Amino acid sequence: MASAVSLLLLSPPRQLHRDGTSRLLSTPHRRVLLAAPTSATPLRLLAAAPRASNNNEAVEAPDRLVAAVAYLYPFLDGAHHGRFLLAQFPFFSAVLRPLVPAARLFHSSPLTPFLLFLTLYFAVVRNQQAFSRFVRFNAMQAVVLDVLLIFPDLLAQSFAPSGGVGFEVFQSMESTVFLFLLVSLVYGGGACLLGKTPRLPIVADAAERQVM
């Protein structure tokens, strides 16, 4: 059974209205970057091996920290996809326990995700004077990853079988999305703290086109 930590981390999936697809795609903090690649499925994303590249110049400690923290945004926004995995493996709840304060703050208001999106995209990614390219690229990867969550969210709302093989497939897909977000958080944040540039599959190409 999922612990209290799991319940804090897993916000309810977004509800669709009768015009579900159009309403979800018009969500402000995900509409801005719908030019990001849309052909990759969560399984393809998880199967592709991420790569980290060394920077030619030393990255300062503040830049490393800001870039690493950016990867919390898509993870907290999509953590509800891990409800099945956390219920089956309570070990993950213990691992994620340090994120409880961040999760509580993230879900404190419905406006928080939108405000964080505006902050990351306009105050960080587009702010060449205040932030290095290292920070802006990683922030952009986090934003693009969050935009790609549109597709598993659509699937979770439109295809939710109650039993049988379909339910098992649905559980596997939800867990795959969660694991990819968790790997992105650990790998992306860890690489940033080491001063290396992580390149997430598919996401990195879209981020490159947005960062000057």
Q: What is the pLDDT of residues 61-86, one digit of tens each?
A: 999 999 999 999 999 999 999 999 99
Q: How many C-beta neighbours within 10 Å does residue 74 have?
A: 25
Share the mean pLDDT of the chain: 80
- Pairing of β 51-53 and β 197-199: antiparallel
Nearest-Å Rg of the Cα atoms of the chain is 17
User: What percent of the chain is helix, strand and coil (3-state, nearest 5)?
Assistant: 65, 5, 30
Q: Which amino acid, one-letter code, is at 2?
A: A
Whole-prediction pTM = 0.76
Domains of the chain, by residue range, sit at 61-209
Return the closest-CA partner of residue 119 out of 158, 74, 183, 70.
70
- The three-class DSSP label of residue 53 is strand
Phi/psi for 32 (5° steps) reads -60, -35
| 200, 50 Cβ separation under 8 angstroms | yes
- Spatial separation of the C-alpha atoms in residues 146 and 152, rounded to whole Å: 11
Q: What is the pLDDT of residues 142-163, one digit of tens each?
A: 999 999 999 999 888 887 777 7
Instruction: With a cut of 50, say whether residue 38 has pLDDT above it.
Output: no
Return the closest-CA partner of residue 194 out of 119, 141, 134.
134
Place of tokens 């958080």: 185
- Residue 66: the pLDDT is 96
